[in-house]
Structure 1
């Protein structure tokens, strides 16, 4: 995500890593599929793809994609979340950084897929969203994909109201040179219909 003025930091104080990890451990133990996002992304990728997990949190998705044979880099501004990721997968690449200044991290561009799951976009610092989308688009290779998942109403967000609309998000993507390819209501691929409270979107950077 972005810096300490983001909505996530306001909600958690930047100390949510261990509790976040325990939450998903409990879900897995109770039989829930906690790999829906990774499964969705893996279906879009060729073997050995480069993946940027933007706002990677505790690394749950990037770790699973690495297990499936992909090369994943995780970036997050929350050091407590990255501490868990580094403990769980010490050989993977985890970077502490602001998504609005992704270019300052020295990443080699040309990612096949950039992922912003877990309400990353709605929880960014207000006003930084277009810059983050531009940074993510710039990290992609021609033909690369930006995959996002976000709540659109309070029932699907840890907020009292949604801070953005899909139309606004699509406009930021278009201005960054991205084209909407697919949109779903869930990570399982359920059809999206206007009024859905959650959207999984696949945008692409057109090939040169």
Structure 2
């Protein structure tokens, strides 16, 4: 990893295990953890190939796999990826920095129909790599492939910068919502879910 992510520099050494334990507890309590997956499932054809970029503990990718999609999950944190492998066998979970993403190099050359970037991933990548992260994910999408990205707009990455980075990465902004369950977007909202598309060739 050329540049450490904010996830590693801005949190303590026990944070990753706390995060794993938190989502295991929420799942055991029956919390609804599938909102992001439900949205992406509506944006792609059945049995699509999905990239879970910044997959964390695998909750989103696992739900997409349960809905019949082929899922590859990638995260820079080996603790989270190991939890995904233990809790959600089936999808392929990989440790990799999204700013250096090259899945063909690890035997996954086939492009993806869609990508999901949930859990404030864009606010946790290494500072200054946001545009490259979006470019790398876009490069793994097929023409007309779709990407859904959600993050807190109060976390140091303004939406104006995100939109500019998305366009520079070769994406087109199609929709914006305030939540993963598609509540209307307003400027005062502190969270945004953006649906983007790689234009067809």
Q: Do these two structures clear the TM 0.5 threshold for a shared fold by scoring above it?
A: yes
* C-alpha displacement of 1:31: 4.3
Cα distance between partner residues in 2 of 1:138 and 1:14: 32
Runs of 4+ residues deviating >3 angstroms: 11-18, 28-31
Unpaired stretches in structure 2, ≥5 consecutive residues: none
The answer to whether the 8 Å contact 1:148/1:201 transfers is yes
The answer to whether the 8 Å contact 1:15/1:80 transfers is no
Q: What SS class does the counterpart of residue 189 from structure 1 fall into?
A: coil
Cα distance between partner residues in 1 of 2:65 and 2:166: 27
Deviations 1:55-96 (A, max 9, x none): 101111101110110000000110000110111233321111
Q: What TM-score results when the alignment is normalised by the length of structure 2?
A: 0.92
CA change 1:175–1:163 in 2 (3 A) is same
Match of 1:151 in 2: 152
Match of 2:156 in 1: 163
Q: What SS class does the counterpart of residue 62 from structure 1 fall into?
A: helix
CA change 1:28–1:89 in 2 (3 A) is closer
Unpaired stretches in structure 1, ≥5 consecutive residues: 154-161
Match of 1:129 in 2: 130
The answer to whether the 8 Å contact 1:109/1:138 transfers is no
Alignment: residue pair count: 199
Q: What TM-score results when the alignment is normalised by the length of structure 1?
A: 0.89
* C-alpha displacement of 1:146: 1.4
CA change 1:25–1:90 in 2 (3 A) is closer
* C-alpha displacement of 1:15: 4.9
* C-alpha displacement of 1:13: 4.6
Match of 2:23 in 1: 24
CA change 1:97–1:15 in 2 (3 A) is farther
Cα distance between partner residues in 1 of 2:104 and 2:5: 19
Deviations 1:167-196 (A, max 9, x none): 100101111111001110001110101121
Cα distance between partner residues in 1 of 2:2 and 2:178: 29
Match of 2:34 in 1: 35
Match of 1:159 in 2: none
Cα distance between partner residues in 2 of 1:4 and 1:78: 13
Q: What SS class does the counterpart of residue 151 from structure 2 fall into?
A: strand
Task: Decide which of 171, 190, 196 is 1:203's aligned counterpart.
Answer: 196
Deviations 1:5-63 (A, max 9, x none): 21111233565444223212333444431111111111112111010011101111101
